[in-house]
Amino acid sequence: MQSDNKTAAILVIGDEILSGRTREGNAHHLAGVLNAVGIDLKEIRVVADEKPLIIEAIHALDSSVGGRYDLLFTSGGIGPTHDDVTADAVAEAFGVGIEMNDEALAAMRARWEQRGVAVTGNRLRMARIPLGAELIPNKFSAAPGFHIGQTYVMAGVPEVFRAMVDAVLPTLPVGRAPFSESLDLDRGESDVADDLKAVADSYADLSLGSYPWHRDGSYGTMLVIRGLDGARVAAAMAELKQRIGA
């Protein structure tokens, strides 16, 4: 699909995702949000809680440090335990130091005092922010995420992640949300592949996809057409229906 929208990637960080212990849902949620506001998600990557892997991924994905995409969103690894190494990795990726952030610390202390929570060294780790980064607020526990370069670093806990996404959304360079039309057929992909390709060749500015399904002993294909011009999407779908006799 041809697009002048900003591009983005999502970096999911966590051994628990790679081990299969935790089902990942943050990338799925953010993908829907980005699509709705006209930011083109191009890649989702998952890495372990290891600094070299996180640094390598940031350098590959964030355009401000030589990567491919306009925006990068990360999930996970900014908690209070020894394996939460994301903040340190991000600081190293951007070549800056990391230290206690006064604004973050004040918000967290106020929250702890309100709830009668003891201040511990482990909790204080969550106030360590790379120098020059801007905070992303966290309405659930006050421990913030942060934004540096074109990278938005957010928590892995789903409720907190979604709150942070809501907080940064108004600041993002949104574009044009795509139009989409779909056609559900009780025919296999092979039966419609030639017609789908013919329409795709005629509408090179659009994205045409074929997605097989199986349910209740039956099978079929969902055909989807996406693009930034609603009239073009409708015209392509009309031609596709005519070709396949739908």
Which of 125, 150, 171 marks a domain boundary?
171
Asked if residue 129 and residue 27 are part of one domain, the reply reads yes
Asked if residue 107 and residue 225 are part of one domain, the reply reads no
Q: Is residue 57 a part of any domain in this protein?
A: yes
E-strand ranges in 55-149 read: 71-75, 98-100, 128-130, 134-136, 145-148
Res. 1: pLDDT tops 90: no
142-149 mean pLDDT: 96
User: How many structural domains are present in the chain?
Assistant: 2
Domain that holds residue 228: 179-244
Contact 79, 126 (CB under 8 A): yes
Q: What is the mean pLDDT of the chain?
A: 95
Q: Is residue 184 a part of any domain in this protein?
A: yes
pLDDT for 167-201, tens place per residue?
999 999 999 999 999 999 999 999 999 999 999 99
Which comes out higher in pLDDT, residue 233 or 110?
233
Whole-model pTM: value is 0.93
pLDDT for 195-245, tens place per residue?
999 999 999 999 999 999 998 889 999 999 999 999 999 999 999 999 999
Which of 150, 171, 192 marks a domain boundary?
171
E-strand ranges in 85-206 read: 98-100, 128-130, 134-136, 145-148, 151-154, 179-185
Which of 171, 199, 227 marks a domain boundary?
171
DSSP code for 89: H
The pLDDT-based confidence of 73 (bands split at 50, 70, 90) is very high
Q: Is residue 2 a part of any domain in this protein?
A: no
The enclosing domain of 66 has a CATH number of 3.40.980.10
pLDDT of residue 141: 84
Report d(CA 157, CA 179) in Å as an integer: 31
Asked if residue 103 and residue 47 are part of one domain, the reply reads yes
pLDDT of residue 43: 98
